[in-house]
Amino acid sequence: MTNDIPAWVDGTLTPVDKLEAHLRGLRHKAISVFLLRGDAVLIQRRALGKYHTPGLWANTCCTHPHWDETPLGCATRRLREELGIEGVALSPRGQVEYRADVGGGMIEHELVDIFVGHAPEGLEIAPNPDEVMDAVWVAIDELHRQTREEAERFTPWLRIYLDQHAEQILADP
């Protein structure tokens, strides 16, 4: 399997190695998923072996689509790969674009397709330890408070989503 992701180079969408895209700060495609249960959202703590932002809390899951992979297919795949979650219907919530320093000389400049799913009570979660070291349900209001008061514990993109796009992502459609 390749690490190539769809990125724009000189205005053309091109397969680029994921690490190279982040080191060069190239604008590239991504997906982010938020699973909701009542007034809570499932967040994950990234595994310590991740090449950027290890040990920080992020949204339910996120990644970059493979070349020619649909955003929904990618979101569904990543829920399974990261958290062992299958069978939750995902709804698109549009796109957002952000640019953030993620440390180590890397920049994420992402055009992100956002998906939201409503998880049933008792949903089984089986985190992949190579990807996720913990996953918890947290009330959305509490998550807003924590990201403001303890920003260093959270990924830059989760803070951006909550600060700039919360209504688009978390409001009832």
- List, by residue number, the catalytic residues: 62, 110
- Token pair for 113: 């397709």
- Token pair for 165: 């796009």
H or E element at residue 73: helix 71-83
Residues 6 and 128: their CA atoms lie apart, in Å, by 25
Task: Enumerate residues 6+ apart whose C-beta is below 8 A from 25.
Answer: 99, 106, 107, 109
- Token pair for 129: 């330890």
Cα 52 to the center of its chain, rounded Å: 13
